[in-house]
Amino acid sequence: MFQLRGLSLFSNVGVAEAYFEDIGVKVPVANELIEKRAAFYKEVYPETKMIVGDITKEEIRDEIVKVAIKEKVNLIIATPPCQGMSVAGNRDPDDIRNQLISYAIDVIHRIKPDFVFLENVPRQLKTKININGESIGIPDYIKRELEEGYTFNPETLAKAKDFGVPQLRERNIYLLVKKELGIVWGFPEKQEEVTLEKAIGGLPSLDPILREGMQLTLEKFPEFEIKKENAMKISKWHRPPTHPWRQVEWMMHTPTGKSAIFNEVYYPCKKDGTPIKAHHNHYRRMNWDKPSRTITMFNGFLSTLATAHPGREFQFDGFTLFSDARVLSIYELLTVMSIPETWSIPEWADDSFLRSVIGEGIPSKMARDIMLNLITRLNEKRVTCN
């Protein structure tokens, strides 16, 4: 009986691995650059050997390879940072983070695992990097380095919503299997789309905490404490985020699925009334009848790409307003990222940190289902892994 034993590179806090133990996938080794993220990972996955350090340094790669071989790793999961390529990032072709794939490839060459999972944003397909003075597209580089020994999946673009995850999130994922094993690792069949209404529509409403202080918060939202108490009965992570009153007021006048920049009166503006120049997806509420937009590391700000709760219409003093003038709560983020409720978040992790690391993760159910599809293929072929 074989067992998948993984090495997680650029592991973040292990969002992708949240269901692995449930399906029999072990991750005995992981590598993360940022110490705080590594500490989080170690608390959640205490049996994993976490190697903290910069993968671009040869001594760190040497240690990763040594430990991985000792632990009989036969699967490598590599998810290099995407900020240099992402639409939500700076899209700088010279961003040094774009080069990190080359260090992952070096580790793959040295360990020679049976299976490889390489994930990044779709823009990776159009991004070039510099290898020994040669400018080459990342897809061409990956295939040049690995196609001799590995079979690639024919389709590489996948959307989280097709995995029953209530989020649109599109990713480019290479799934590689050693040619000698004689199987192709692809994506599972598409699942039914899960809307935000189905995912979080039944959760208690929340008013935001106003940055100007609790006195103004209670003045503007007399039911704030009652709503907060009801929400906390669901989870301690379903708690109010904090926003400035000006932004909250704009969003209270913004209908579900719309952006505040199109409001006739309560639109984003400077203190002197000058309209703020913004993208049509900034200050935008999500739709109840669709999955959420892609969750990014900036999910705590109303001013960024489509982060606002859908809200519910209500009447006040003859005006039509919309509730939940805020971003998603941490609990709602966990839900739309399909992270299980049993995931043991360390008590010391604050909201800002959690929002950042959650926004950079692979939806847990998406990663689980891709792994389950590999396990199914292996069972069908009765393959014995090295």
Q: Of residues 9, 82, 248, 366, which has the active-site annotation?
A: 82
- Predicted local confidence at residue 350, as pLDDT: 96
The full set of domains in the chain, from first to last, is 5-191+362-381 (3.40.50.150), 204-237+240-328 (no CATH)
How far is Cα 127 from Cα 141, in angstroms, rounded to an integer? 11
Tell me the one-letter amino acid at 111.
I
Distances (CA, A) of 71 to 21, 26, 57, 63: 16, 10, 21, 12
Q: How many helices (H) and strands (E) does the chain have?
A: 11, 14
Task: Read off the pLDDT of residues 249-263 as tens digits, 9 standing for 90 and up.
Answer: 999 999 999 999 999
- Predicted local confidence at residue 131, as pLDDT: 82
Phi first, then psi: give them for residue 343, nearest 5 degrees. -60, 120
Residue among 182, 117, 121 at smallest CA distance from 146? 117
- Predicted local confidence at residue 122, as pLDDT: 81
Task: Note if 82 is an active site residue.
Answer: yes
Phi first, then psi: give them for residue 115, nearest 5 degrees. -135, 145
- Predicted local confidence at residue 383, as pLDDT: 57
Per-residue pLDDT of the chain (386 residues; tens, 9 = 90+): 579 999 999 999 999 999 999 999 999 999 999 999 999 999 999 999 999 999 999 999 999 999 999 999 999 999 988 444 444 444 445 556 578 999 999 999 999 999 999 999 887 777 888 888 888 889 999 999 999 999 999 999 999 999 999 999 999 999 999 999 999 999 999 999 999 999 999 999 999 999 999 999 999 999 999 999 999 999 999 999 999 999 999 999 999 999 999 999 999 999 888 999 888 899 999 999 999 999 999 999 999 988 999 999 999 988 899 999 999 999 999 999 999 999 999 999 999 999 999 999 999 999 999 999 999 999 998 755 55
Reported as half-sphere exposure (CB side, CA atoms, 13 A), residue 315 has a value of 2
- Predicted local confidence at residue 367, as pLDDT: 98
How far is Cα 384 from Cα 386, in angstroms, rounded to an integer? 7
Burial 134-165 (b: 16+ CB within 10 A, else e): eeeebbebbeebbeeebbbbeebebbbbbbbb
- Give the number of other Cβ atoms within 10 Å of residue 258's Cβ: 18
- List of residues 6+ apart from 12 with CB closer than 8 A: 32, 37, 41, 79, 357, 360, 361
